[in-house]
Structure formats: structure tokens, C-alpha cells
């Protein structure tokens, strides 16, 4: 009997009491501590995609390491023609994202010259392919700083040309792409605030899927943008 009492006291000491949300009634919960490390996300949980299906954990929050190899754009080879149909990744995105049938420079169908695209950053409609850039949702320099510097050149190439995620590469106006550059959400946001929710969700999902980190300031900016969602994860 004495042993049972001692075990009960020890078990009680390992819990803390906290109220249920919206209630003053306390309930015992495990006493957990979250450490700031490269392996522990400070904001754990699932993030909903734009369709509302939770599928990704929040990326690990950490500052950019003070000493990492210098970024070199040539290490992130793009645009490649992976299926060898004469249409490289840029052309593939232009074809996929045009809301009307595209026209090509020649009958071979290798280079897109016209179509109809809506820049999600500005809401502007564009009809000439020459006025568009293909933007990496996560800029290559940002991916490098967030952990991609450790990748092989082959993995960097796959990231730079990823067509599997429809939000990884997007057609935007050249001016919007230049303004964004390699900036993260704490440094630059789309001018069309109606796109902030989707932008933040896509950014988080892609970083999570590729196991890339976010900085504390970046995380704060993402949370601000997520607050514009009708259903905030």
C-alpha cells in the first residue's frame, strides 16, 4: 500500500494543471518543454492546404546559420526539359497556368508566345509570355539559406524544376518577380492582399515538404498572412 501511495504522488508531480479553453475547470496535462533547436518546431501541428486539408507540419524555426557555403545560382540548374519534349520547365508552367489555349513561336510547339495568365501577386492579366517570369515560390537563395545548401546538385536541380506541386513554380509579371527577388515574407508580400492566405499556406507547405526551416521573423510574417484566412490553421 505504501508503494502505491508513493507512485501516485510521483505521477502527480509530473503533471501541470491548466484550464480547458473557455473554461475555468482545470485538467491535468503533461509538463512538456519545447526547446529551440534545429530538430524541434516551435509551432507544431498541421497546416491546411488551400483546399483545407491538413497535410504538413509547420517548418522548424531557426535563424540562418552564421557560416554556410556561399550561394551560387549555377548550382541550382534550371530550366530543364525533363521529359525531352522540347518544352523546358518554363514552357511547361506557361502551358499549365494559361487560362486559354496558348500559341507557340513555331509549329514544333517548343516556345510559348501568347496565352492568358493572371499574376496572383498583383491580380493583373497578362497575354504575352515575354512579360512573364517563372517564380520559385521559395526563392532559390532562400532555399539555400534554409538548409538547401546541404543538398546535392541533383536535389537542387529537382527543387529548381519541380512541376509536381502546382504552386512551386508560378507565372508572374517580370516586375513583381524582380521586386520579390530572394526575399522572404517578412521582407516582401504580394501587393494583392487577397492572395496572402494562399501565399502563406503554399510557402509553409513547400518548406515543410522539402524540410526547409523558417526564421523567427519569417514565421511572424507568415502568421500575420495566415490571419487573413477565413479558416485560420
Neighbours of 168 (CB within 10 A): 21
* pLDDT reading at 209 higher than 70: yes
pLDDT > 90: what percent of the chain?
69
CA atoms within 13 A on the CB side of 23: 8
* pLDDT reading at 45 higher than 80: no
Mean pLDDT of 157-178: 97
* pLDDT reading at 105 higher than 70: yes
* pLDDT reading at 193 higher than 50: yes
Helix orientation angle between 216-226 and 196-209, rounded to the nearest 10 degrees: 140
Greatest alpha-carbon span in the chain: 89
**Can you point out the beta strands (E) in 66-215?**
103-104, 112-118, 125-128, 132-136, 169-173
pLDDT at 51: 38
* pLDDT reading at 35 higher than 80: no
Mean pLDDT of 193-207: 97
* pLDDT reading at 68 higher than 80: yes
pLDDT-based confidence at residue 65 (cuts at 50, 70, 90): confident
Residue 49 falls in which region: left (phi positive, over 0), alpha (psi -120 to 50) or beta: beta
Mean pLDDT of 62-74: 92
Q: What is the mean pLDDT of the chain?
A: 81
List Cα–Cα distances, 70 to 66, 202, 209, 221, in angstroms: 11, 26, 24, 26
Handedness of CA 169, 167, 82, 129 (dihedral sign): negative
pLDDT-based confidence at residue 226 (cuts at 50, 70, 90): very high
The larger pLDDT score, comparing residue 32 to residue 185, is at 185
pLDDT-based confidence at residue 228 (cuts at 50, 70, 90): very high
The residues spanned by each domain of the chain are: 37-226
Amino acid at each position: 500500500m505504501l508503494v502505491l501511495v508513493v507512485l501516485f504522488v510521483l505521477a502527480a508531480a509530473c503533471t501541470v494543471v491548466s484550464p480547458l479553453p473557455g473554461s475555468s475547470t482545470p485538467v491535468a496535462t503533461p509538463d512538456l518543454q519545447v526547446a529551440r533547436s534545429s530538430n524541434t518546431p516551435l509551432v507544431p501541428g498541421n497546416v491546411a492546404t488551400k483546399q483545407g486539408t491538413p497535410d504538413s507540419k509547420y517548418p522548424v524555426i531557426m535563424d540562418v546559420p552564421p557560416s554556410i557555403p556561399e550561394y551560387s545560382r549555377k548550382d541550382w540548374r534550371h530550366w530543364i526539359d525533363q521529359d525531352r519534349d522540347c518544352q523546358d520547365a518554363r514552357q511547361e508552367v506557361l502551358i499549365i497556368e494559361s487560362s486559354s489555349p496558348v500559341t507557340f513561336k513555331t509549329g514544333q510547339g517548343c516556345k510559348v508566345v501568347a496565352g492568358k495568365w493572371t499574376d496572383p501577386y498583383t491580380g493583373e492579366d497578362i497575354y504575352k509570355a515575354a512579360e512573364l517570369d517563372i517564380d520559385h515560390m521559395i526563392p532559390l537563395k532562400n532555399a539555400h539559406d534554409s538548409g538547401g545548401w546541404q543538398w546535392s546538385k541533383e536535389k537542387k536541380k529537382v527543387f529548381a524544376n519541380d512541376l509536381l506541386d502546382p504552386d512551386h513554380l508560378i507565372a508572374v509579371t517580370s516586375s513583381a518577380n524582380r521586386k520579390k527577388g530572394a526575399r522572404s515574407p517578412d521582407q516582401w508580400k504580394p501587393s494583392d492582399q487577397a492572395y496572402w492566405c494562399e501565399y502563406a499556406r503554399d510557402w509553409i507547405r513547400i518548406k515543410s515538404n522539402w524540410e526547409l526551416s523558417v526564421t523567427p521573423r519569417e514565421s511572424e510574417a507568415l502568421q500575420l498572412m495566415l490571419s487573413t484566412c477565413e479558416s485560420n490553421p
